[in-house]
Amino acid sequence: LDAAARRLPAAELAAFSPRAARAKEERGWERRKAAREAHVEKRRQDHLQRIRAEQEAEERRRAAAAGPARLLALANRAKDPIGDDDRRKAHRAIRAPDRQLVAEMLGKNSPVEVLRFVNAEVFGEHTQRLSPSGWLVDEVVNYYMFLLQERDALVCASDGSRKPCHFFNSFFFTKLLENGSYNYRQVKRWTKRFDLFSRSKVFAPVNVGNMHWCMVMVDVARKEVRYFDSMGAGGEPYLKAMKRYLEDEHRTKKGSELEGGWTLTRTTRDTPRQTNGYDCGVFASFCAHYMSLTEQLDFSQDDIQHFRIRMMVDILNKRIHTGGDV
């Protein structure tokens, strides 16, 4: 062996030495250790990734649940207590003389584009109808629709993913069904500054024979036209007229037929009911107030007297009360 070893090159001879064997074993151990550490680190990273994914999913779930709850809370700001100063101002405005100008909205000052060509005035003869047993007139309902339009713009500004609503005034149906017959041309230009089908919901108050107030809502995403009547009537003529209007509007502005699958929904059981003959205008207005934010009509006859004062305060302040939430 010694003779054979003497004939091997020095490098090959070194490979047979105990030191070389230990070094080789140590290198193998280091590789195995590094492999184990890499495996453990990968498992740790995978575990952390799963935790992060679960946390993000939980946050999305909570956000999805909190969104409707937050908007319902915003709608319910209408139930907030009214301060003594605001209440006194509201009562003075409700008792104002017939021709005293109580509130004025100049559309040119509005941040909402669709309101920039709208001017509205409310006089004492109109605000008197916000007294406890008054029947609301167009001027009060329409002014409130303008305020809802501006509140909607604020809500959309705080949530970039939210599509805006649109609020027609009470003369929309008056013109659409003038003299009892349908006439699209009378309202064709009402949407020349915006695409109606880009809205999430559309609201139109209905003055039924100058005797009763109702509300029509179009839910564009759900393809639904819905009627709200605090006395429970179905509203078929207005549902059908609105559906026909949507067909004409789509054909005229989009150059194509309205897609099928639309449903017409009569007044549902969850629509709050009035228990007298004069609160319908407040009910109709607050159906738009709530449904433009949420899917819950979280009010009843017990809230209506408070809502009358709240409407007066909001008209005087030229904004819907939000409690600073938007």
- DSSP assignment of 85-132 equals HHHHHHHHHHT--TT-EEEEEEGGG-SSGGGTT-EEEEEHHHHGGGST
What pairs with residue 214 in β-bridges? 206
86, 152, 219, 229: the catalytic one is 229
Residue 225: in which H helix or E strand, if any?
strand 224-228
126, 219, 279, 280: the catalytic one is 280
Quickly count: other Cβ atoms within 10 Å of residue 113's Cβ. 11
Instruction: Reply yes or no on whether 229 is catalytic.
Output: yes
Instruction: Reply yes or no on whether 250 is catalytic.
Output: no
Residue with tokens 């139930």: 79
Q: Which of 115, 294, 275 is nearest to 194 (CA)?
A: 115
86, 152, 166, 212: the catalytic one is 212
- DSSP assignment of 227-294 equals EE-TT----HHHHHHHHHHHHHHHHHHHSSPPPS--EEEPPPTTS---SSSS-HHHHHHHHHHHHTT-
Q: Which residues are catalytic?
A: 212, 229, 280
